[in-house]
Chains A and B, each alone.
Chain A
Amino acid sequence: MFKQASRLLSRSVAAASSKSVTTRAFSSEVPSTIDSTFVESWKKVAPNMDPPQTPSAFMKPRPSTPSSIPTKLTVNFVLPYASELTGKEVDMVIIPATTGQMGVLPGHVPTIAELKPGIMSVHEGTDVKKYFLSSGFALLHANSVADIIAIEAVPLEHIDPSQVQKGLAEFQQKLTSATTDLEKAEAQIGVEVHSAINAALSG
Chain B
Amino acid sequence: MASTAAVPFWRAAGMTYITYSNICANLVRNCLKEPHRAESLAREKVHFSLSKWADGKAQKPVLRSDAPAV
Contact = CB atoms under 8 A, between A and B. Distances in A.
B22 to A, nearest CB: 7
B30 interface: yes
B9 A185 contact: yes
A37 to B, nearest CB: 42
B33 A152 contact: no
A164 B36 CA distance: 15
B14 A181 contact: yes
B50 interface: no
A167 B27 contact: yes
Contacts of B34: 160
The prevalent SS among residues of A at the interface is helix
B40 to A, nearest CB: 7
Contacts of B23: 186, 189-190
A135 B29 contact: no
Nearest to B18: A151
A129 B22 CA distance: 24
Contact of A117 (B9, B28, B30): B28
Contact of A197 (B12, B22, B31, B33): B31
A186 B23 CA distance: 8
Contact of A167 (B13, B25, B30, B33): B30
Given A136-B21, A154-B36, A189 B31 contact: no
Interface string B49-62: 00000000000000
A184 B33 contact: no
B18 to A, nearest CB: 9
Given A134-B21, A194-B27, A154 B32 contact: yes
A184 B9 CA distance: 9
Given A182-B14, A185-B15, 5 more contacts: A151-B22, A152-B40, A189-B27, A190-B27, A194-B27
Interface of B: 9-10, 12-15, 20-25, 27-34, 36-37, 40, 43
